[in-house]
Amino acid sequence: MAYQGIFVLTGKPVQIEVQGASIRNVTPLKTNEHLPYISPGFLDMQVNGYMGNDYSLEDFSEDQIVKIISHLNRSGTTQHLPTIITSPMERILRNLRIISQAIRDSEDIAHAISGIHIEGPFISPADGPRGAHNAAYVRPPDLNEFKQWQEAAEGRIILVTLAPEWEGALEFIQEITSMGVIAAIGHTAASPDRIRAAVEAGASLSTHLGNASHPMIPRLKNYLWEQLAEDRLMAGIICDGFHLPKSVVQVFARAKGLDRLILVSDAAYLGGLKPGLYRWNEVDVRVLDDGHLGLPGTESLAGAAHLLDWDIPRFMEFTGYSLGETIPLCSRNPGRLLGAPGNYGTLEPGAPANLVMFDYEPGMDRLRVLKTIRWGREVHALH
């Protein structure tokens, strides 16, 4: 199969030949006809759910995985990390087993899921840093519990987000990183000293930096500045236009540099649903008229309602960076952090055939995704 388009990283027309699950050849084209953009598929490290499906639900099922992946296909996301948030231990174990079984049952699900992200329950119990996570299930880091998770997941947990201020958190970070699992700082109220200690212990990522934080923090000595200044931390950001103001995105991009920044959707159960008040994870959440999710009566957000096809144009709009500069933030960068092969997120011979074809003009709300190819198989085509 051959696909023709404008390669987003070079701006030049190419033909990409796919054989099996890999790219066989990339050939320059000479043409004046209009072609869509062609890009590596997107990798989203933080997908909680979407459109009434969620990896943390009590009644979670394999059918919901299929529905979530279908929505992601339409957004150009070829791989993602199912993200389970703060929940009772029994539910976490149950849902991990369901994900693992689905991966064994379906080759396409196996190709769509790059690993599993556990966000909590080892987070700050404080209002603000806790975000929309249920306070009843927040608890201190427990290595034995993690090992039970990993057994249920059959070794597929590759990322854990936690607050390093807990007693025992530094030892927990050291242990899981020694097992090859990424420790991320998030939902934290830690002091700058504790942030530095967490990085020394092995933490290498900030989860949705700037969000899940207090409304008021010390002016200079705080957990945001410390993570922003730490070059050993990559930073995930939710660039949907609601979670971070334009000026903050600009500063984050300048401070971290494009090589240490990752776009994540943080898409949640209520994403894509009609405006109204809903009950999610035993917490009241409102879908606002402008599409974002909030906790009623507060300025706190409750996850995200948009996928990466929306977030990519917001990042370009806020920072002035081009498509070619922005796409690696949700392809090569997360792939590098997660230990994917060196050719992941590229369009070169031998690379995995994860492709997305789309139209885009400045001013469009989102990418118009025309076709999504995962491991050489077309999983979405716009008719």
**pLDDT, tens digit, for every residue of 188-238?**
999 999 999 999 999 999 999 999 999 999 999 999 999 999 999 999 999
In a domain, 218, yes or no: yes
Give the pLDDT band (50/70/90) at residue 281.
low
Identify whether 144 is part of a domain.
Answer: yes
Whether 377 is in a domain gets the answer: no
pLDDT tens by residue, 172-187:
999 999 999 999 999 9
Q: Report the chain's mean pLDDT, rounded to a whole number.
A: 96
pLDDT score of 14: 97
Asked if the structure places residue 45 within a domain, the reply is yes
Taking residues 131-147, what's their average pLDDT?
Answer: 96
Is the residue at 254 inside a domain? Answer: yes
Considering the domain boundaries, does residue 34 fall inside one?
A: no
Task: Place 132 in a pLDDT band, splitting at 50, 70 and 90.
Answer: confident
When divided into structural domains, the chain yields a total of 1
pLDDT the model gives residue 291: 77
Beta-strand ranges (E) seen in the chain are: 2-7, 12-19, 22-28, 37-40, 42-47, 49-50, 53-54, 77-85, 116-119, 157-162, 182-185, 205-206, 234-237, 261-263, 276-280, 283-287, 293-294, 355-359, 368-374, 377-381
Predicted pLDDT of residue 259: 98
**Tokens, residue 154:** 């059959």
Give the mean pLDDT of 235-250.
97
Residue linked to tokens 């995200």? 304
The pTM score is: 0.96
**Helix ranges, 179-322 (H):** 192-201, 223-229, 246-256, 308-319
The CATH number covering residue 217 comes to 3.20.20.140
How confident is residue 293, by pLDDT bands cut at 50, 70 and 90? confident
* pLDDT for position 279: 85
Residue 135 lies inside a defined structural domain of this protein? yes
Quote the pLDDT of residue 247: 98
Summarize pLDDT for 34-61 with one digit per residue, the tens: 999 999 999 999 999 999 999 999 999 9
Percent of the chain whose predicted confidence (pLDDT) is above 70: 100
Q: Is 217 helix (H, G, I), strand (E, B) or coil?
A: coil
Residues of the domain holding 262: 41-336
The pLDDT value given to residue 284: 87
What DSSP state is assigned to residue 41? Answer: P
